[in-house]
């Protein structure tokens, strides 16, 4: 019986005798895992910082490469033969910001919410519509048959003015102030078009050839005025608008206007 008891004691003590080496191995493994986790965490933060830095750099580079970046605006001024010193001072100082903001606020007071927006003898057409839409409105203005009644227009225009949810043609006439604005086309023409536009707006770029066609086909009958309406989500539009006014100070607003839209339309701005 004593021997059996001794064996029982050995069997009970045996786990205690051999548990110490097992615990040491466990501690070593836990230490290795901890070091590995620390290493991976540091590496992850380093990678995240690199990606963030790269994204920021990419954003800056993209802005610098934009056709309407400030360096490019200054380059276009030279290409148009403007006095570079005067132009750069005007643009860098932000002295035209107040005038641009004034145009935008005026457009908003008239109901302009996006670009491009055209007032054709006071009738508002919002969007880059095909030439025939403009032609119908202009022809009625010239013929003296323009009306505030939506049903007197074609089916296409009726669709654009009858549905409140999709209304883009507003035949009710509004008085538009064009004082101190630069005119392209004929002074005291039968039809005056006031365009609220954004140099960085793709729809404005799309409407540009239509506007040029109107001036060509209605030579002597249409006068065009341009109002600034840079949209806040176009990062370069504000400075491009200011730049156009700086060019205007040197008598080349329309040359500037055409150059910017033509470059963007062709995708050749560098």
For residue 123, the domain's CATH number is 3.40.30.10
- What gap in Å lies between CA 134 and CA 89, rounded to an integer? 39
Q: C-alpha distances in angstroms, 243 versus 88, 92, 247, 254?
A: 9, 9, 6, 12
pLDDT digits over 72-97, tens only?
A: 999 999 999 999 999 999 999 999 99
Half-sphere exposure of residue 102: CA atoms within 13 angstroms, side-chain side: 11
Closest CA to 144 of 214, 191, 192, 194: 191
User: Are residue 97 and residue 39 in the same domain, yes or no?
Assistant: no
User: Are residue 13 and residue 117 in the same domain, yes or no?
Assistant: no
User: Are residue 163 and residue 31 in the same domain, yes or no?
Assistant: no
**8 Å CB contact between 162 and 150:** yes
Domain that holds residue 168: 70-266
Helix or strand (DSSP H, E) at 12: helix 2-65
Tokens 């119908």 — which residue?
136
Number of domains in the chain: 2
What is the structure's pLDDT at 34?
59
User: Which parts of the chain sit beneath pLDDT 70?
Assistant: 1-64, 268-270
Helix or strand (DSSP H, E) at 125: strand 123-126
User: Are residue 58 and residue 75 in the same domain, yes or no?
Assistant: no
User: Are residue 17 and residue 105 in the same domain, yes or no?
Assistant: no
What is the structure's pLDDT at 74?
98
User: Are residue 146 and residue 262 in the same domain, yes or no?
Assistant: yes
User: Are residue 228 and residue 108 in the same domain, yes or no?
Assistant: yes
**8 Å CB contact between 68 and 260:** yes
């Amino acid at each position: 019986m004593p021997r059996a008891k001794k064996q029982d004691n050995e069997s009970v003590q045996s786990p205690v005798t051999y548990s110490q080496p097992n615990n040491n191995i466990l501690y070593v493994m836990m230490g290795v895992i901890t070091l590995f986790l620390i290493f991976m965490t540091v590496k992850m933060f380093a990678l995240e910082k690199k990606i963030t830095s790269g994204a920021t750099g990419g954003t800056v580079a993209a802005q610098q490469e934009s056709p309407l970046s400030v360096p490019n605006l200054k380059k276009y001024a030279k290409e148009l033969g403007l006095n570079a010193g005067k132009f750069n001072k005007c643009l860098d100082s932000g002295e035209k910001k107040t005038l641009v903001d004034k145009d935008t606020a005026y457009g908003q007071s008239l109901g302009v919410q996006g670009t491009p927006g055209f007032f054709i003898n006071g009738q508002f057409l919002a969007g880059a519509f095909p030439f025939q839409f403009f032609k119908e409105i202009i022809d009625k203005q010239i013929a003296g048959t323009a009306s505030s009644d939506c049903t007197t227009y074609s089916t296409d225009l009726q669709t654009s003015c009858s549905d409140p949810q999709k209304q883009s043609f507003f035949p009710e006439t509004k008085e538009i102030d064009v004082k101190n604005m630069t005119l392209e086309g004929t002074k005291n023409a039968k039809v005056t078009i006031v365009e609220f536009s954004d140099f960085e707006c793709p729809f404005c770029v799309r409407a540009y050839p239509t506007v040029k066609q109107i001036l060509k086909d209605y030579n002597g009958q249409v006068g065009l005025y341009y109002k600034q309406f840079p949209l806040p989500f176009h990062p370069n539009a504000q400075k491009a608008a200011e730049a156009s006014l700086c060019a205007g100070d040197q008598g080349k607003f329309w040359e500037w206007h055409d150059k910017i839209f033509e470059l963007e339309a062709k995708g050749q701005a560098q």
